[in-house]
Every structure is written in C-alpha cells, then in structure tokens.
Structure 1
Amino acid sequence: MAGSSQKKRAKLDKSQSDGKPPPAKAQKTAAKATASSSAVRKSKPAKAKAKATATAGQPVEKLPDEIAIPALVTNQSAKETFLISAGTYERLLYGIEGRFADGQLTLKPQFIIPAHTGCIKAVSAGGRFLASGSTDECIKLYDLKKRVELGSLHEHKGTITSLFFHGRSHLLSASEDGAICIFRTKDWEPLKVLRGHKGAVSSIAIHPSGKLALSVSQDRTIIIWNLLTGQRASRSKTPQPGEIVAWSPSGSSYIIGYATEIQIYKVGQSEPTATVFSKQRIMAAIVAEYKGKVYVLAGCQDKRVYIFSLEGKELGSIMCHDNRIKGISSVDVTFPDESVHTVVATISSDGWIKAWKLDDMIEHVLSAAAEEDNNIEPLAAYNADVRLTCVVASNNIFS
C-alpha cells in the first residue's frame, strides 16, 4: 500500500486529560466504575499494533483480492444480554449491560472509561471489539472479552465523525478530513484510505453483505463504495449536506438523513422511492424490520421518536425522553420466553439511556391509543447523569 514506509505504530495514550477535567460528578462516577472488577482495564498495546496510513495527497490504490472484505454468511445470533455503549461530551465512554432478572429488563453499568481528551463523537461495536472516536482525532480500541484497552489509531487529521464495524473482521472510520479508512481487526492494519469527498464525512454504513458501503458528506454528495475493489462505484449529488446514512437489516433499502427530511431508497434505483419531511430537527435515525415490514425510526429534537413506513408515511410518534434525542440504535435480543425481539436503545442530552421493545413501538403507533398520545413505557432506563452524544447497541460478550 502507498506510503508503507511512512507507517508508524499506534501508541496507547497514557494521558487522558487536556487540562480540562470532567465535572466532579462525572469524575466520581468514573472513579467508582474503573475501580470495580467489571470495568475495562487498561493494558499495554495489543501485540498487533496499528500503523499509519498513507499521507494526504497520495493516490488511492486498488485493494488486493486477498484483503477484500468477505460477505457475512449469517447474522450474529441474538443473546439474552446486550450492551449499550455511549459516548459523552465529558470524554467518558459508558458501557451499560442489559440483562433480564425475574422477567424484567435491567440496565447496569459494566464500565465507565475516561477514554479521550476530547468530546466523543462516534462509537461502534463488532463482536468482541469496541471503538470510539473523538474530536481529539484518534480512535480508541477495546477488547471487551479480555476487558483490556488495545490502543489508539491515529490515521485521521480531523474529528472522527463515524465508525462502523463489519462483523468482527473490519472497521471503517470517517472524519472531518474527508477520508474513510479501512482497518483489519486481526492486526489493526490500515488496509485502505478511501478518498472521494471534498468535505467532512458525516456518516458511513456498510451493506450487510460487506461488499458495499455508503458515505455522505458536508460536500453534498453520497458515494457508493465497492469494498471488494476499494474503489468508488458511484458519486451523486444530494440536495443538502447529508448527516445520516443507514441500510435496512436485509440490505434491500437504505436511507439518507438530512436536517429535517429523510430520503428512502431501494437498492438499484437512483431516485428515492419516498421522502419524509419533518417539522423537527432529526438527530438520529435507523431502519428496522418488524413482522416482515421495514420501518424508519427517527429521533428528533422535540424528544420524540417518529416512525415511518418504507413508503414514507408517518405512522406516529412516541415521547421517549425529556430532552432532545441524541442517538438511536437497535439489537436483537432473546427474551426470557426464548422469543427473539428487536430492542431499540435511545439516548438524550440529559443523560438518560432507555431500552424499548420495537414490537411495542410499532404496535403503539398503529393503534388507536397513539391518537390519544398515550405513550408507552420503556423496558428499562438508566441515568448516566452526563451529556450523551452517541450510542451503539450490540450483543453482550461479557456473559
């Protein structure tokens, strides 16, 4: 790969402070968590350390076949427990475990780490690995199974804006520097730098097959990347700067989110099949499936999650928080009766983390009760008492 002679090993950041310590309350919480046996312990860098990518301005080379990202054969099976990982303005990384006890879901902290020297802007989980990105321009890596910090990746020259794992094998990262990096989790080798955007990359998403990726940018473009060749497949203009991009679980459709609207696409079609217009600022969005149908869930500034059909029809909304919603994610979970359901995790600016049953959310907006604004209760809630910024829900590997 170009610039291999300039590669350097990633170093484990020993200093976690930029001279502005977190609020006393956050420091106290972090101290308690890191002292507990369940907290993720820092360690020396992993045996296989990351190396720097080619410097800006160097040409993008073709991705060799032997390091092409493989397709996922099967999805990871749902477990009885799950993990909600959330980043904060206070530079803390939270890990909240969801577990059923006597039939009731509980949310309890597994770890609280002073992870960065800047605000955490992105977080992603893939199998045993957890990654967080920050305004400090670095990506922190953790092995959740061994409960150790692996080190840091310093490939970008700007705020990390988006992280996305493909299964357990690869990690994609995006930044305000306009670049997208592909890392191999086996040794955290930076395999490729994708350059195509002229502005900050806002969001990235990998197709469930692992063969394609989408990225949207402040330069008002969306790029479809062929991950088998490491080349740009297509580049299209968007009506405004894109902020969110997400695939449906089956990979048959995807969405592009803007400040107050969402465009819905079907694979193979260049024009959106539907456009959703919102009166509220859209902060986060996901695509979920329930009983064979696809729905778009959008968390907005008015504290509600709005639910739309794939045809763009607004089905209703649920008041989920007392402050603006900052993030939304989902994971399949095995319930006590052995049935599998999708759990939706939402976070708000006031520090609340809540878990919802997708079944309840969809059935509610489809029922007459939604017209009376009788909102449902979450399965469980946890108050982190900090300013939350981003979230990802994943199968729990602690148990």
Structure 2
Amino acid sequence: MTGLHERHLAVSPDWLALYYRHPLELTHGEGRHVWDADGNRYLDFFGGILTTMTAHALPEVTKAVSEQAGRIIHSSTLYLNRPMVELAERIATLSGIPDARVFFTTSGTEANDTALLLATAHRGSNQILAMRNSYHGRSFSAVSITGNRSWSTTSLSPLQTLYVHGGVRTRGPYAELSDERFIKACVADLEDLLGHTRGVAALIAEPVQGVGGFTAPPDGLYAAFREVLDRHGILWISDEVQTGWGRTGDHFWGWQAHASSGPPDILTFAKGIGNGMSIGGVVARADVMNCLDANSISTFGGSPVTMAAGLANLSYLLEHDLQGNARRVGGLLIERLRAVGAGSPAVREVRGRGLMIGIELVRPGTDEADPDAAAAVLEAARAGGLLIGKGGGHNTSVLRIAPPLSLTVAEAEEGAEILGQALHAAT
C-alpha cells in the first residue's frame, strides 16, 4: 500500500471506493492518454467517468481557463456573467426545447436535484416515475429515485418514487419480445401503474442508463411513454448527464432516439461539457423553469472559469464534428469488441452506441452476473495499459467503455486488442 493510499484511507469515508487492488494516482494527461505517479502511460477509455469529453489537456480549453482565471475567477449569479449567458444561449438553442431557460449547477447530481425541484413545484406533487436500473446522482433526492440497488443508499426521502420497466432491453419479463412488443408491454405497464396513482409530477429517465451498464430500450420507447404522460399532464425529464453532447454518435442528445415525441420538458446535463471542469445544468421551457415562487441563486453554478471552459470545449466539439467521430470510430470499436466477445464464454452481450459501450460478463454457461470477472478484467486491462470502467445493475458485472470523443481509429484498434487480451487472461 502506497503512502498516499494510506493517507487517503485515514481521512476518507469507507464508502469512497477506489479502482484497483493498488489504486492509481494519475498525474497528467494528453489527448487520449494519462500517466500515473510511477510514469506508466495508459490509453484512457473511461475519461474520468465520461467527463473528459474531448481530450486531456486540450489546448483550447486550458487556454480559456487560464485567461479567464487571470481576469476574475468568481462572482456568483448575483452579477451579470458574460460567459454564462453566452454558454446558456448556445445550450438553449442546441437543446431543442422551445422558449428554453438554462440554470447552471456544479454537477449532474445537482442538476437532477434541481429538475426534481422544478417538476414537483410545477405539478404540486411529490410523486416521481423513474426507471428500474437507473442512477441519477448521490444527493438525498437523487438517491431516492435511483432504481439500482447498488447505489440506492437510503429509502428515506420526501419523494414517492414508482419504478417503470423498459430501461433494460435484454433482461426482465419482456426480454424475449420483439422491439415492437417490448414497447407495447412497457407502455401497458406504465398505463397500469398510473391507474393506481394520481397527480404524478414527472418521469425521469436516462436515454442510455450509465451506471446501470450502458443499457437502453428500443428507439421510440420514450416517445410511446410521452403519449401516455401527456394525457396525464406528467412532465418528462431526460437525464443527459452521460448521453449528451454527441457521445452516442447517432444523436447529439439521447432523447433524439425517441424524437417523434419532440424534446423533453426538462433536460439535465453535466460531465462532458466542462471537459473536467465542474459544470452541470438544467434546461426547461420557461413556464416550468419559472414556476418557483421563492428566491433561488447559485454561488458556484455558472462560475466564469467553468463557463469559459464549457464555451471553448463546446466550440471544439462542434467545429471538429466529434459527434460524427463518435459514430464512425465508435461503430468500428463496437464491431471489434463484439468479435472479441464472441470468443469469450464469459461475455453475455456487447452493447452500446457511439463511444458508449458496455460488455456484460456472466459465469460461463449461465445468465448469472460475474462481478469478480469484471474486477479481474479491469485489473488485466490496466496491466496492459488500458483504463476502463465498470457498472451494471447486476452487481457491477459490466465493463464500461467511454473514451474521449476525439479517439482515433488506431487508438480504438489498440484498445480493443488490449481488452481482448485482458478478457482472455482474466476469464
């Protein structure tokens, strides 16, 4: 155990988990690579939990941060803030939500917490629909709507949460149905649930479940849900903390895979927009955003420095068509990983879209999740020079792969090769 690890354990909560038997201290990064304190170089396929969206040490972002920090670092939302207004204007336009208003926070958890505040205030109800296997953050309210037992640390909450089926396509009672019948069954489940309630405020859903293991319903499920929700006046919150900014390749936002319903009433974002700087936020149509009848500000949301980073990062993303790169390189990577998975009896499924890919591991010959195998592959990949993540609703048995969106074809090939060797060695 290193001295830093011992110091960490002495001052940190027991539940503050670290990856690896011998945890890493990352000291610097460049492009799609990072280095540890011992000088080892790694290809980064996790990006600080999908947060280093464009590249490590992206010059455009570091320059914007440095220049803004040299002018003024902090002011709060009590003063006009040019970078905040400029970024809000761009996000409002990109969101697709008409007459949109934007409120900045410091994290995805806080963004989802704000969305819940808005929805419950607007509807005058504390009832929330959430998806099974979901994750929306670690605050008191966000934990209470998390449908993933591994991350739901308490049932004590002011919210009454009801869980809907549909976020996981290949497990559960409808797994064997066709996509069309799967959607119909999930809609029937929603209709039945609403028949036993009244005055539900909102449905919150990740278009692709992140911590849940990069699972997703068939395209169109949330459009079908929206028809039901609209009849009951229930708001739709799309949690885009992990799916936003083009990561899925086919779409800029995850909700656009269900676009026949139009944009959500509320959209939350975070992670990638700051490329490592702490930015989260909420977009909502004006009548929803303006429903609060008490004072509310943010001390740190919309900080001039983080907003400068967000503007530079978003500009780089759009100017270099990183969504298109995620589609092209992500398509190649998932093909390679499916070929790798076909040769391993431990691989149940390789799924995903764009540069958001999950590999679900099971005990060979069964459908039983194998978290020990996932942990072993994580270690073996690190030994081979590759950093990946893990998650899943079945005891963290899914390898999560989400590199920066500027990933090259050569790097995708390299990462797939290392991961194939790790799977072979560890399972």
- Structure 1-normalised TM-score? 0.27
Higher relative contact order structure (alpha carbons within 8 Å, sequence separation ≥ 6)? 2
Structure in which a larger fraction of residues adopt helix: 2
- Structure 2-normalised TM-score? 0.26
Q: Which protein shows a greater Rg? A: 2
Structure in which a larger fraction of residues adopt strand: 1
